[in-house]
Amino acid sequence: MNSEAPNSKPDLYVVARIIKSLKKKNRVNKTALATCTELSYDKLVKYLDWMSKKGFVLVDENGLVSLTKEGLEVYDELVQWILKHVGQLKFPRLRAST
């Protein structure tokens, strides 16, 4: 997983963090987004380029980033997909006794 090269192999965790932040803040500038996603500005810009090509985000002429409906849908589908698999797990109540 090379999170430095979003054009070829995007880090899903980073993409999810960006989408989650955008869900909360709607429209936000790149610097603020970099801060709240704990990404370096350069790295964020690379991801935003990749995400805007995929249609997940829109970056307007003022540099404000917003989430598209597609981006939100993909994020929700990803949540559902993970929940489908992890949600089936039943965990026993374990307590190692000595």
Partner 1 sequence: MFYIRLKVTFIYLLSRVSSSLRWDAMSEKSVSSMSEENVVKKVAELMETLDEIKKYNVLDRYLKKFTIIVIGSIAICILVNLSISFFGLLSAFNEFERFFLNFPIVLIPTVGVVVGILFVKRKINEVKTGEWKKELSKGFPSALKLLSEIDWDTSFDVVSSGRLGYAMYSLVKGAAYGFIFFFIIGFVLNLITYLVLHRIGALGYASFHFSFLAIIIYLKHDLSKRFNEIREIEKLQLELRRLSDELRSSEL
Q: Which residues of 69-98 are buried (b: 16+ CB within 10 A; e: fewer)?
A: eebeebbeeeeeeeeeeeeeeeeeeeeeee
Smallest distance, partner 1 to C-beta of residue 67, A:
12
Cβ-based nearer residue to partner 1, 62 or 69: 69
Smallest distance, partner 1 to C-beta of residue 74, A:
5
Pairwise CA distance, residues 46 & 7, whole Å: 8
Cβ-based nearer residue to partner 1, 1 or 32: 1
Cβ-based nearer residue to partner 1, 63 or 80: 80
Q: Residue 4 burial (CB < 10 Å; 0-12/13-18/19+)?
A: exposed
Smallest distance, partner 1 to C-beta of residue 5, A:
13
Question: Which residues of the chain form contacts with partner 1 (CB under 8 A)?
Answer: 1, 9-10, 12-13, 15-17, 20, 54-56, 69-70, 72-83, 85-92, 94-98
Tokens representing 51? 């995400």
